[in-house]
Chains A and B, each alone.
Chain A
Amino acid sequence: MWDVLAFLFNTTVLAAAVRMATPLIFASLGGTFSERAGVVNIALEGMMLTGAFAAMLVTYYVGNPWVGLLGAMVAGGFMASIHAVVCIRYRANQVVSGTAINIFAGGLTVFLLRLIFNVAGTSPAVNRIPTLTIPGLVSIPWLGPVLGRQNAMVYLAIALVFVAHFVIFKTVWGLRLRAVGEHPKAADTVGVNVFKMRYAAVIISGILAGLGGAYLSTAHLSRFGDGMTAGRGFIALAAMIFGKWNPIGAMGASLFFGYADALQMRLQEVGIPSQFVSMLPYILTMVALAGFIGRATPPKASGKPYTKE
């Protein structure tokens, strides 16, 4: 019994969970902004991938990974602005546009990799965002090993969760954002510019997803690899829903995924085929949702283009 508990709450498992959760936190936060404004963003995966590439590229040339982060934000934001124009201005189906972005990003990153480095597959190594040690925190028992020494981007992600919470629920802009996603016409009738809000939200979502990608290529790892996001954009989408379109919820869900994954990695030895262990995070998620969470209602206008007469 104690063994099991000790295993479950092992600090190394938890620290790994935090690391695995970080890209999901960024991306699911991004998704939250976009969907809160009424634009479904199934393109998180593609935006992450672009961000991962751009962070590597900029860092490669500039040397400073923090500048690389800016590059990721610009690139993610750029992909998002395509999504925004197509969905908002031209009222395309948001899911189709998202699918196209995902395909586009997959092609574009490798295309550029080849054009610039003359390799396909894996980029050269670049500098990484440093790991920080938080003086007070690191010496607290149990919590210290989990959170006291992590990559700077881990702390950035956690900080952004609270910033996002503040922005969405406390600010004027956030109030308008929520209104636009629930009932755009109502917002319009009181003079809120629905289109502008949606553009902003979608671009923010791209920036955040880009950061999530950057975490992979320049914080957790130090190079870009073809398709290195490996479906995390979709998991982030699930985390966003699991978290009920709330930043803190999204973080919780991301941590849950990260934890299940970290646990799974340490379970591959007990004699069950590896594939069944690999399924664990996904099964756990389904059970958790069915058992404890229940209904989640998306913002009412999400997925619906807004048209003015």
Chain B
Amino acid sequence: DDVSVSIVFSTGGLGDQSFNDAAYRGLEEAVADFGIDFSFVEPTDVAEMEEHLRAYAQAGYDLVIAVGFQQESALEVVSEDYVNTRFAIIDAVVDNPNVANLLFAEHEGSFLVGILAAMMSETGTVGFVGGIESPVITRFQVGFEQGVAWAEPDVNVIVNYAGSFGDPGRGKELAISQNERGADVIYHASGGTGNGVIEAAAEGGFYAIGVDSDQDHLAEGTVLTSMLKKVDVAVYNLISDLVDGHFEPGIHTFGIANDGVGLSEMRFTRDIIPEEVLAAVEEARTKIAAGELEVADR
């Protein structure tokens, strides 16, 4: 019998250049490698989550993956009703024996970004643009701030929230305003809003830093790096484990140590970044991986 996997995405849907897309990439790779049966759904609203999870469980899928914290409470209920189905949830914890919880230490990755930003800044000011303020986005922000402080204690961080994940126009204006206030490296964790941040950087001749997926190509040379949240890897591994017959419930944390988060390859910017900056990033990376450097998540 073929293994069958289904995914319920978060309301951002496919095309978010963030974890939905990443999860889908992981699924696609797994399909290519293992030839599994699969199905997915892109809900438009939080209220739908429970019925989709339930329907997939009911339909007998071996693994049902819930993408995003929005599905936490829905999965809590459904995973109790279908104890023989295996579930996974990204970015949240549902403490049931048939649920694997995939958590990402965005703050750790953001810490590295902060180092890069602080050291690349010539003005002594860097910026952060968030989407809608929430605990997850705050993790990006505080990780970034700690990284900046660790590398260059005097560098100032300007923080703005756009109030939306889908307003690139506002993202651009926020970046311009931060730039006018001196920021010359701006990190965004704001979904589609961030496209505007990157455009502003390209136009204004300063640096932007992408998030979640590799956004370096969006403006070559302008996007210094992207903070990768490797949901694709996590999903692929999860399916691969399932195929091999050792699905493991419980909490799986993806951080620096297991390469679950990290920086992009910096294909277009590696030449611009001085050696000592990369060295500092590497130093922090190894320290965090070794547990010598602790990054707070709030």
A and B touch in the complex (CB under 8 A): yes
Q: Which of B14, B15, B16, B164 has the most chain A CB atoms closer than 10 A to its own CB?
A: B15
Q: Which of A188-225 contact B (CB under 8 A)?
A: 216, 220-223, 225
Given A16-B177, A226-B166, is A122 in contact with B161 using a C-beta cutoff of 8 Å? no
Q: Mark B191-219, 1 if CB is under 8 A from A, else 0.
A: 01001100100000000000000000010
Which single member of A113, A120, A275 contacts B133 (CB below 8 Å)? A275
Q: Is B173 an interface residue (CB 8 A)?
A: yes
Q: Which residues of B contact A16 (CB under 8 A)?
A: 173, 176-177
Q: Is A99 an interface residue (CB 8 A)?
A: no
Chain A interface residue count, Cβ-Cβ cutoff 8 angstroms: 34
Q: Is the CB of B15 within 8 A of A220?
A: no
Cβ of B199 to closest chain A Cβ, rounded Å: 5
Cβ of A257 to closest chain B Cβ, rounded Å: 12
Which single member of B16, B17, B181, B195 contacts A221 (CB below 8 Å)? B195
Q: Is the CB of A121 within 8 A of B161?
A: no
Q: Is A178 an interface residue (CB 8 A)?
A: no
C-alpha spacing A232/B167, complex, angstroms: 10
Q: Which of B156-173 contact A (CB under 8 A)?
A: 158-161, 163-164, 166-170, 172-173
Q: Is the CB of B199 within 8 A of A228?
A: no
Q: Which residues of B contact A19 (CB under 8 A)?
A: 173
Residue of B nearest to A19 (CB): B173
C-alpha spacing A216/B177, complex, angstroms: 18
Q: Is A116 an interface residue (CB 8 A)?
A: no
Q: Is A5 an interface residue (CB 8 A)?
A: no
Q: Is the CB of B160 within 8 A of A274?
A: yes
Q: Which residues of A contact B174 (CB under 8 A)?
A: 265
C-alpha spacing A275/B162, complex, angstroms: 9
Q: Is A3 an interface residue (CB 8 A)?
A: no
Q: Mark A248-262, 1 if CB is under 8 A from B, else 0.
A: 000000000000011
Given A16-B177, A265-B173, is A230 in contact with B160 using a C-beta cutoff of 8 Å? no
Q: Which of A253-283 contact B (CB under 8 A)?
A: 261-262, 265-266, 268-269, 273-275, 278
Q: Is the CB of B192 within 8 A of A226?
A: yes
Q: Is B292 an interface residue (CB 8 A)?
A: no
Q: Which of B137-191 contact A (CB under 8 A)?
A: 158-161, 163-164, 166-170, 172-174, 176-177, 180-181
Q: Which residues of B contact A120 (CB under 8 A)?
A: 13-16
Residue of A nearest to B196 (CB): A221
Q: Is the CB of B15 within 8 A of A265?
A: no
Q: Is the CB of B160 within 8 A of A265?
A: yes
Q: Is the CB of B180 within 8 A of A221?
A: no
Which single member of A221, A269, A274 contacts B169 (CB below 8 Å)? A221
Q: Is A65 an interface residue (CB 8 A)?
A: no
Cβ of A289 to closest chain B Cβ, rounded Å: 22
Q: Which residues of B contact A273 (CB under 8 A)?
A: 133
Q: Which residues of B contact A269 (CB under 8 A)?
A: 158-159
Q: Is the CB of A221 within 8 A of B168?
A: yes
Q: Which of B13, B158, B160, B199 has the most chain A CB atoms closer than 10 A to its own CB?
A: B160
Q: Which residues of chain B have a CB within 8 Å of any CB of chain A?
A: 13-17, 21, 133, 158-161, 163-164, 166-170, 172-174, 176-177, 180-181, 192, 195-196, 199, 218
